[in-house]
């Protein structure tokens, strides 16, 4: 019983932020402290562009990823513009993941999400929701992926 009381006291003494595995974020990304400021600003210029309807963001405080996921809604034209803007970012690889998101009373996934991982800071991943309402996939234009130059 004494050990249980000691554990409970230590648990209650932790700050609230110690419990949060993720926190909300606005139109921003949690970049590593040593991240190139010019590259960070270039990425921010895309995600802060008002042409793209931002619906929410979250930062994961779970190592090693420490990822930021930003959610957007829109039609094919908006998504095509987003793809084009992201592809213009210098030194950034783009990955695309297609998934069947939820769209019911329990969960409503956005049209697309942008994911940045501190474990892979040269990459941006776009998660495209195949179940997104109002997105005509026949109008989606996937960007060209040039070969890697290494």
Q: Compute the distance between CA of residue 95 and CA of residue 124 in angstroms, rounded to an integer.
A: 6
CA angle 149, 33, 128 (to 5 degrees): 55
Give the mean pLDDT per block of 10 residues along the chain (150 residues). 49 49 94 96 97 96 92 96 94 93 75 96 95 92 73
Q: Count CB-CB contacts under 10 A for residue 45.
A: 12
pLDDT score at 7: 45
Nearest Cα to 52, choosing from 10, 114, 98, 109?
114
Contact of 77 with 56, CB cutoff 8 Å: no
Q: How many CB atoms lie within 10 A of CB 132?
A: 20
């Amino acid at each position: 019983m004494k050990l249980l009381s000691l554990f409970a006291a230590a648990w209650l003494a932790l700050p609230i932020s110690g419990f949060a595995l993720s926190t909300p974020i606005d139109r921003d990304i949690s970049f590593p402290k040593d991240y190139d400021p010019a590259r960070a600003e270039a990425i921010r210029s895309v995600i802060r562009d008002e042409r793209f309807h931002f619906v929410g963001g979250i930062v994961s405080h779970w190592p090693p990823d420490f990822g930021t996921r930003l959610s957007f809604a829109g039609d094919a034209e908006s998504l095509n513009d987003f793809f084009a803007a992201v592809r213009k970012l210098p030194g950034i690889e783009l990955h695309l993941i297609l998934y069947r998101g939820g769209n019911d009373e329990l969960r409503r996934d956005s049209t697309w999400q942008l994911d940045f991982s501190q474990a892979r800071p040269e990459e941006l991943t776009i998660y495209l929701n195949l179940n997104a309402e109002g997105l005509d996939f026949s109008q989606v234009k996937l960007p060209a992926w040039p070969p890697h130059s290494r």
